[in-house]
A and B are shown apart, each in its own frame.
Chain A
Amino acid sequence: MTATPTAPTAFLAPTGLTTDGLPLTTVDEERRAALVAGFPFPFPNPTYRYSTNVEPARGAVLTPAGQWGEVVVDVDVEYREELAQREQVLARDPSRYAVLPHMRVACWDAMLGLMRELAAAYPDDMELTLVEAGARPRYRWRNGLLGLEQEFTYGVEDTLPGEPLGWICSQVQEDVVLMDQRDGVLYGDAGVVTFAADWSFGFDVGMSFLEIHGPVPRLHAEGVITRAQQFLVRLQPGEVYRRTNWTLTIGRRLDVSTELYDEWGPDRESVQLLDDTAFGALVHLRVEVQHLVRLPESGAIMFLIRTYMLPLEEVARVEDWRVRAADVLAELPQDMADYKGIAKFRDRAAAWLRAAG
């Protein structure tokens, strides 16, 4: 890793623009180092196009700054902070959490699946114990990070403090969408999505996989989504795949849902008026690591969306990332930049990165 002498920006002078007061990615050296080390840099190639870029999960990916990808459910330094943010978003807008009635089995399935992943990844803090096997298995769940301990019977709602999907989503940083499979089609029929990047889960719930991705240009013309669905409907129990997606977000703002477009939309104008220091501190490369899991009892697909963000000033401190991100942003076709909502400032972002060398 190549470190430039630039210090991370701690504080930005007021400008009178909408970007004033946006959360930054901190000066806390420990947190900053952890975020950089675990960052899933999303550009394997100097150009970016949509593709059905799925690969088997759990493989560690080494980066110049660290590694990512060994676990399906990732607990990092932001654990408590992001869980608190999820709680706030849900309190303000309950439509980010929906379970259609036929998804009850899938929600139990998802809860158990997420507990298994957590326990496998963090055996010191998380533990799922099968207390009794049989038609109604009994379990004990311990989440040491949150000080939770709960014994429950599979499929019996009364033995949990809340609805299973909602409860487990208060213990993971991932957004979760559960897709029901009927007649070879996947429907997004349940989920907790508080950190959406420019879409509305509340509006999309109940739609098919193809419909949810409807508005994305190129995806359909190039057959990417149809192939992805064909792949997903064949996914077998226990198989886990992953892919990444990315965009640019202004400020460390996890909730850039369509619901709040009127709040964050103006930042796309403001950011153009910022000086270089503020620009590099506020513009974040936002990466989603998405995991796709076939759940065993319900047959549903669990779609996990985990969001990572790093400001350009941090991206630029890793030389390979700086060069590659600049290349990708500069070359990205206009329609894709439009859809990602970055058309107004991606050229400056590319130039900023190039100049930071």
Chain B
Amino acid sequence: MSPARISLVVTEVTELVPGVRGLALAATDGAPLPSYPPGAHLVLDVPAGDGRPRALANAYSLTGENVEPLEYRVSVLRCDPATGAAGGSAWVHALEVGDKVEAHPPRSLFAPVRHASRHLLVGAGIGITPLLSHLRSHARWGAEAELLYLCREGLGAHVEDLAALAGESVTVLHDRAAFTALLRERLRDQPLGTHLYTCGPTGFMDLVHLEAADAGWPAGRLHAEAFGTADLDPGEPFTVSVDGEELAVPAGVSLLEALEEAGHEVANLCRQGVCGECRVGVGPGSGPVLHRDLYLTDEDKAAGDCLMACVSRAEPTDDRPAHLEVIL
């Protein structure tokens, strides 16, 4: 299920540090926007064009006030398409005040654990953004927090914001060796009950987790921000034959939606692959099925005779395009 898009307008553009652009986005009618958990991200629709072969959905951590916000704030590092970046950040860097933007409502995959007695936040580079949001919330609720931030001198976004929120609980370092030494020390001196949150380049997060494991931290206390786009994955287009008719299911459209659009009635409820209502039969003329539901058992899937139409799709093979024969 993808909830309705929200329409936003760019109200402020700032160069936070060289290469990082801060963006404020407000509702087109100026009303308060939906609240969101600290560490949540906003997925912006990036249109095709300007060297982007297809439309993109780019996730950016929200950095501003999260309760009843009048605007959503994101900070975006410019990644050069010449080095393989898909071009979403270049598009953000070209936005101007007054431009309209479509977004999915905020999504949360990196919320603070409120049960923790203390929060150790460890960020590098642009990975500071969700941690800034965490720190705001901890300041509001008087929760104990400590933040370690590795960034290049003069290129660390939000250094002043962090200091204003948490003062001496924030340490900013520019040298990797010094950072690792401090991290090692701080990991061994956190009261039982502390949880750790890290965001930054993958290699950096791996390092933090390895150091934490060395210091005896169990996995349940470790949290990393990895933009989970799997659940937003629009999928690849495929074709369906049903009742002697051929349907095309484009990327971003579910089999269920395609069947409904073609006038077929399919029982359904949750539209998220959970409830089991929209199970449809799959005939022998089908290619492999990409099961993405939580309902069918492994045995069901191995039998290969059904799928959940709201989330699952067809997969291509080396010698034939993605196709399903659906039996209603």
**Residue numbers in B under 8 Å from A105 (CB-CB):** 114, 141
Q: Is A265 an interface residue (CB 8 A)?
A: no
Which stretch in B35-43, B121-129, B167-175 binds the other chain? B35-43
CB of B163 closer than 8 Å to a CB of A: no
Known pairs A183-B220, A236-B107, A237-B35; A297 contacts B269 (CB<8 A): no
A55 touches B270 (CB 8 A): yes
Minimal Cβ-Cβ distance residue in A for B105: A238
A296 touches B34 (CB 8 A): yes
**A238 to B106 CA separation, bound complex (whole angstroms):** 9
> Which chain A residues in 221-236 approach chain B with CB under 8 Å?
223, 227-228, 230-231, 234, 236
CA of A51 to CA of B68 in the docked complex: distance in angstroms? 36
Residues of B within 8 A of A298 (CB): 37, 114
User: Provided the pairs A155-B141, A237-B36, A299-B37 are in contact, do residues A231 and B270 lie with their beta carbons within 8 angstroms?
Assistant: yes
Contact B68 A237 (CB under 8 A): no
B108 touches A236 (CB 8 A): yes
* Cβ-closest chain A residue relative to B1: A56
Are the CB atoms of A182 and B113 closer together than 8 Å? yes
- When distances are taken between beta carbons in the complex, the residues of chain A under 8 Å from B70 are 133
Query: CB within 8 Å of B: which residues of A?
Result: 51-56, 102-106, 130, 133-137, 154-155, 180-183, 189, 223, 227-228, 230-231, 234, 236-239, 241, 294, 296-300
Contact partner, A297, options B67, B275, B295, Cβ 8 Å = B67
In the bound complex, how far is the Cα of B297 from the Cα of A237, in angstroms? 28
Nearest residue in A to B71 (C-beta to C-beta)?
A133
Distance in angstroms between the alpha carbons of A103 and B37 in the assembled complex:
15
What is the chain A residue whose CB lies nearest that of B111?
A299
B108 and A182 contact, CB distance less than 8 A: no
Whether the Cβ atoms of A51 and B115 lie closer than 8 Å is: no
Cβ contacts A to B, 18 pairs, < 8 Å: A55-B275, A56-B271, A104-B141, A105-B141, A106-B114, A130-B68, A133-B32, A135-B136, A136-B140, A137-B67, A227-B294, A230-B274, A234-B272, A236-B108, A237-B108, A239-B3, A296-B34, A297-B67
Complexed CA–CA distance, A241 and B270 (Å): 8
- Closest Cβ of chain A to B133, distance in Å, is 11
Contact in complex: A182, B34 (CB < 8 Å)? no
CB pair A238–B114 under 8 Å, yes or no, is: no
Residue in B closest to A113 when the chains form the complex, CB atoms:
B35
- In the complex, the answer to whether B272 meets A137 with C-beta atoms within 8 Å is no
Contact pick for A237, options B34, B274, B295, CB 8 Å: B34
Question: Which among A51, A137, A155, A180 is the interface contact of B276 at CB below 8 angstroms?
Answer: A51
Counting CB contacts under 8 A, is B137 at the interface? yes
Given contacts A135-B65, A239-B3, A296-B67, contact A53 B269 (CB under 8 A): yes
Q: Which residue of A lies closest to B116 (CB)?
A: A102
Point out the residues of chain A lying under 8 angstroms from B220, CB to CB: 182-183
State the CA gap A52–B275 with chains docked (Å): 5
With CB as the reference atom, state the residue of chain B lying closest to A236. B107
Known: A54-B270, A133-B68. A296 touches B36 (CB 8 A): yes
Contact of B75 with A by CB under 8 A: no
**Contact, CB under 8 Å: B3 / A238:** yes
Interface pair B269/A55, CB less than 8 Å apart: yes
User: Cβ of B231 < 8 Å from any Cβ of A?
Assistant: yes
Within 8 A of A (CB), among B47-69: 65-69
Among A106, A130, A182, the residue within 8 A (CB) of B32 is A130
> B68, A137: Cβ atoms under 8 Å?
yes
A231 to B108, CA, bound (A): 14
Q: Tally of A-B residue pairs with Cβ under 8 A?
A: 108
- Which of A104, A181, A234 neighbours the largest number of chain B CB atoms within 10 Å of its CB? A234
Q: Measured between C-beta atoms, what is the minimum distance from A301 to chain B in Å?
A: 12
Whole-angstrom distance between the Cβ of A347 and the nearest chain B Cβ:
30
What are the 5 tightest A-B residue pairs by CB atom distance, in nearest-first order?
A: A296-B35, A299-B111, A231-B274, A299-B37, A102-B115
Query: Given A183-B220, A239-B3, are A227 and B274 also a contact pair (CB < 8 Å)?
Result: yes
Q: Are A227 and B295 in contact (CB under 8 A)?
A: yes
Chain B residues 242 to 262 lying within 8 A of chain A, measured CB to CB, are: none
Mark out the residues of chain B between 137 and 187 whose CB falls within 8 Å of any chain A CB in the assembled complex.
Answer: 137, 139-141
Q: Which residues of B lie under 8 Å from residue A230 when comparing CB positions?
A: 274, 294
Q: How far is the CA of A102 from the CA of B142 in the complex (A)?
A: 12
| Smallest CB gap from A299: residue in B | B111
Closest chain A residue to B274, Cβ basis: A231
Asked whether, in the complex, the Cβ of A297 is within 8 Å of the Cβ of B270, the reply is no
Cα of A53 to Cα of B115 in the assembled complex, Å: 30
Given contacts A180-B115, A236-B107, are A53 and B275 in contact (CB under 8 A)? Answer: yes
Q: Hey, which chain A residues are within 8 Å of B137, CB to CB?
A: 297
Q: How far is the CA of A14 from the CA of B154 in the complex (A)?
A: 86
Q: What is the distance, in angstroms, from B143's C-beta to the closest C-beta of chain A?
A: 9
In the assembly, what is the distance between CA of A348 and CA of B276, in Å? 33
Interface core residue of A223, A294, A299 (most chain B CB under 10 Å) = A299
A sample of 11 more A-B contacts (CB under 8 A), given A133-B68, A237-B37, A297-B38, is A53-B275, A54-B270, A103-B114, A105-B141, A106-B114, A135-B65, A227-B276, A228-B274, A238-B3, A296-B34, A297-B35
Is B231 within 8 A of A234, CB to CB?
yes
Task: Given A231-B270, A231-B294, decide whether A297 and B37 contact each other with a Cβ distance below 8 A.
Answer: yes
A237 CB to nearest chain B CB (Å):
5
With A104-B141, A135-B136, A297-B37 known to touch, is A52 a contact of B274 (CB < 8 Å)?
yes
Decide: B105 and A236 in contact? CB cutoff 8 A: yes
In the docked arrangement, what's the CA distance between A133 and B275, Å?
A: 39
CB-defined contacts of B297 to chain A, threshold 8 Å: 223
Residues of B within 8 A of A228 (CB): 274
Q: Which B residues are in CB contact (< 8 Å) with A241?
A: 270
User: CB-CB < 8 A to A181: which residues of B?
Assistant: 111
How far apart sit A181 and B274, CA to CA, in the bound complex (Å)? 19
